[in-house]
A and B are shown apart, each in its own frame.
Chain A
Amino acid sequence: MKLLIVDDSLIMRRAIERCVAGDKFTEIRVAVNGREAVEEFERFKPDVVTMDITMPEMDGLDAVARILRKNPGAVILIVSALADKSTAVEAIKRGAAGFLLKPISIESITEALDDILSD
């Protein structure tokens, strides 16, 4: 399976990559903002995306909407530090399959990915 990790933080990109290493993902690519995520999604066609929200150039919620407009079957897990309910609700409204609050653990990211992929 193919995973696209979208986060402006190198620490987070590497953390998620380590968390899923040796798991079901055979190919992993990264993007550092929403604009790159939209472009990379079209090239890479990942099975699942982890998407941060607060990023420069284009935020994660806009990227979710743009990706889903062209790819209605895209599976996107929001991974964000924004802890208010309104953000999680907005993410789901825009079509995200799930919402995981930072800081993350190995267990939380693998469980969240398993959950959205089993739906």
Chain B
Amino acid sequence: MEEYILKVFSKSTLRYFDAVAGGGAALGTPYLGGETESAGLGFSAVIGISGTYRGNIYYTASREKLFTLLPVLGESKPDEMLCAELVGEITNTISGNAREQLGGGFMISPPFMLQARPLSVHPVRNVPLYVIPITWRQHASRLLIALSKEPDAAEEPARPSA
């Protein structure tokens, strides 16, 4: 299950950077993270997952990376607020795109943004925390995945989460 999930999110992450930044993103080897990941890289967002899976998806990036990416998106005057908004949108887009493979039962919440605050990543019910390192224009960011499959959940609920 873990290998499949990692492939799904790797594809979704590369698709994001291909579409908005003309590519150039490289993914490192995923690894099992621990509570040390809670520090984040400065700007972070978390999305809650429910339905056929349960857990959280986090994305964290440095101010430098976001200040480089924002002008590529057309934002000529990057600031802290736009950085916080951008990590939220990246987390939302990567998680939402993952439904192409994971189905409509993979229900996502709106993103919750954390600026200069820890991610508060805690091990949940023995759910492993996988970290996908992302490098774009020499700037590092990370996608964190903590998911468990719900054994009794329906595969394809009729509609997405609010």
**Known contacts A54-B109, A59-B162, A61-B159; is-contact A9 B99 (Cβ 8 Å):** no
Is B110 in contact with A54, judged by CB distance below 8 angstroms? yes
Partner of B104, one of A80, A86, A102: A86
Taking CB atoms, residues of chain B closer than 8 Å to A81 are 92-97
Q: How many A residues, CB 8 Å from partner? A: 30
In the bound assembly, the distance between CA atoms of A12 and B96 in angstroms comes to 14
In the bound assembly, the distance between CA atoms of A82 and B74 in angstroms comes to 23
Is B73 in contact with A56, judged by CB distance below 8 angstroms? no
Partner of B158, one of A12, A15, A59, A90: A90
B77 to chain A, nearest CB (A): 11
Taking CB atoms, residues of chain B closer than 8 Å to A22 are none
In the bound assembly, the distance between CA atoms of A38 and B158 in angstroms comes to 23
Taking CB atoms, residues of chain A closer than 8 Å to B104 are 82, 84, 86-87
In the complex, whether B86 has a CB less than 8 A from a CB of chain A is yes
- What is the size category of the interface that chain B forms with chain A? 35 or more
Is B96 in contact with A83, judged by CB distance below 8 angstroms? yes
Residue of A82, A101, A104 with highest tally of chain B CB at under 10 A: A82
Partner of B73, one of A15, A83, A101: A15
Is B160 in contact with A59, judged by CB distance below 8 angstroms? yes
Taking CB atoms, residues of chain B closer than 8 Å to A56 are 110, 162
Taking CB atoms, residues of chain A closer than 8 Å to B35 are none
In the complex, whether A58 has a CB less than 8 A from a CB of chain B is yes
In the complex, whether B156 has a CB less than 8 A from a CB of chain A is yes
Is B99 in contact with A83, judged by CB distance below 8 angstroms? yes
A5 to chain B, nearest CB (A): 14
Which residues of A are interface residues toward B (Cβ below 8 A)? Answer: 8-12, 14-15, 18, 53-59, 61-62, 80-84, 86-87, 90, 101-105
Which residues of B are interface residues toward A (Cβ below 8 A)? Answer: 15-16, 19-20, 73-75, 81-82, 85-86, 88-89, 92-100, 102-104, 106, 108-110, 156, 158-162
Instruction: Given contact pairs A15-B74, A59-B162, enumerate 20 new A-B contacts (beta carbons under 8 Å).
Output: A10-B81, A10-B85, A11-B75, A11-B82, A12-B89, A53-B160, A54-B108, A56-B162, A59-B160, A61-B160, A81-B93, A82-B96, A82-B99, A82-B104, A82-B160, A83-B97, A90-B158, A102-B96, A103-B15, A103-B16
